[in-house]
Amino acid sequence: MNLIEQLEALAKKLTNPGWQAPPNEEATKMALVAPFLRALGYDIFNPAEVMPEFSADLPLVKAGERVDYAILENGQPKILVEVKAYKTNLDAAERGQLQRYFHATKARIGLLTNGHVFQFFADLDEANKMDEKPFTEVNLLDLRHATLSQLKHVTKPKFNLDELLGIAEELKYVKGVKDEIRQELTEPSDWLVKEMAQRVHSAKRISPQILDSFRPIVADAIQSYIADCINETLDKSIKIVEVKEHDHKSDKKDTAEAENSNDVITIQEETKALYVVKAICANLVDTSRVIEKDTKNYCNITLDGQVRKSFLRLRFNSLRKKKVMIFDQDQPEAVPVSTPFDLYQYEERIRKALKLKLKPPGDSEQN
């Protein structure tokens, strides 16, 4: 199996209904981290290549301090690995031990992981000092958006430090720009609000009062623009669906055609609803992860196309009584809607339902 296939197999383990989260760091190493390193091509049973509990007598390292793994080349560490418990929030995790070893050795790549999220660090900001932010991240629960093509440079067969550091620098800045764009779309900064006000307001000077009044205007305009873009895509999708349905019905008998005419309406309404939900969730998740799973009686809106991650159910089969169920509570109740655009009335509940599905399996609360 290639790298992607091995990671997909490992990810499948996490989505298995019988999966239980590892209770501690040691279990996380055995169940997830060691297989991940093996997928990268390293021999986890060869201590000359992968040294567990790596320690070194170095000035900057505290006595008895170890990193969980060191990937070695010619006896020298090239990648240092620090493992945290499965439910640990890596963004808030303590990194001092990994940072000290990074500074004291010749390793240029650090890996911090909780078994399902793998954060890769380099020393792009200052030589021999591990950066505060990772240059890339691999989430086994979201492999479609991982930079797997760049990850090959970390594998044993393709490891090339110079190329990897060049890619790391590019990824770092791309990620930084995306984060800033996401932040501006979610909560417009003073700079953006002032810039927009200066461009469209008639006043020669933008006073603090104008700035305050413009803040909700800019926020509403951003959401409206995103919705417009999605609706344009929706219109194109509906036309494609109509053409396909027309071609499909032309091969049916008259009675079947009459039944399928209702299906066309249902398909259109469900497609509209899907894009409305994408617009509502755009500031929480990459909208390509919001996927519909249709059945004869209802249509689920899911995260990553997984039925167990359904956070909304559409019941649009009846032309008169359309209902939706929002899975934001233990016993969700169906609420009526007239058109897919009525879903905007429930946007806070829909976002809450999605957030519940974004948590890793077996995790009721991130530490």
Residues 41 and 148 both lie in one domain: yes
Which residue segment(s) compose the domain that 229 sits in? 208-358
pLDDT at residue 251 tops 80: no
pLDDT at residue 294 tops 80: yes
Tell me the mean pLDDT in the region 345-349.
89
**pLDDT tens digits for range 3-60:** 888 888 888 888 787 888 898 999 999 999 999 999 999 999 999 999 998 876 666 6
pLDDT category, 272, cuts 50, 70, 90?
Answer: confident
Q: Is residue 190 part of a domain?
A: no
pLDDT at residue 109 tops 90: yes
Cα dihedral 175/181/184/189 (nearest 10): 70
Q: Is residue 59 part of a domain?
A: yes
Residues 212 and 164 both lie in one domain: no
Residues 239 and 174 both lie in one domain: no
Residue with the bigger pLDDT between 292 and 332: it is 292
Residues 133 and 18 both lie in one domain: yes
Q: What is the CATH number of the domain that holds 60?
A: 3.90.1570.30
Which pLDDT score, from 0 to 100, does residue 305 have? 86
Q: What's the mean per-residue pLDDT of the chain? A: 82
Residues 173 and 232 both lie in one domain: no
Tell me the mean pLDDT in the region 351-361.
83
Which pLDDT score, from 0 to 100, does residue 235 have? 64
Instruction: Name the residue among 167, 113, 151 with its Cα closest to residue 3.
Output: 151
Q: Is residue 233 part of a domain?
A: yes
Angle at 110 between CA 108 and CA 116, to 5 degrees: 155
Which pLDDT score, from 0 to 100, does residue 266 have? 47
**pLDDT tens digits for range 304-346:** 888 889 999 998 876 668 899 999 887 788 898 888 888 888 9
Residues 55 and 150 both lie in one domain: yes
Q: Two tokens at 197?
A: 């006000």
Residues 18 and 100 both lie in one domain: yes
Which pLDDT score, from 0 to 100, does residue 146 have? 62
- What's the pTM value of the predicted model, to 2 decimals? 0.60
Residues 271 and 159 both lie in one domain: no
> Distance between CA 235 and CA 240 in Å, rounded?
9
pLDDT category, 67, cuts 50, 70, 90?
Answer: confident
Which pLDDT score, from 0 to 100, does residue 258 have? 40
Residues 45 and 121 both lie in one domain: yes
Q: Is residue 99 part of a domain?
A: yes
Range with the lowest mean pLDDT among 57-71, 85-99, 261-275?
A: 261-275
Residues 168 and 215 both lie in one domain: no
Q: Is residue 222 part of a domain?
A: yes
> Distance between CA 357 and CA 106 in Å, rounded?
41
Which pLDDT score, from 0 to 100, does residue 110 have? 94
pLDDT at residue 115 tops 90: yes
Residues 130 and 277 both lie in one domain: no
Residue 147 one-letter amino acid: T
Number of domains in the chain: 2
Q: Is residue 195 part of a domain?
A: no
CB 323 within 8 A of CB 334: yes
Helices (H), 56-151: 96-104, 148-151
The winner for highest mean pLDDT among 63-67, 99-103, 205-209, 267-271 is: 205-209
pLDDT category, 238, cuts 50, 70, 90?
Answer: low
Q: Two tokens at 261?
A: 């005419």
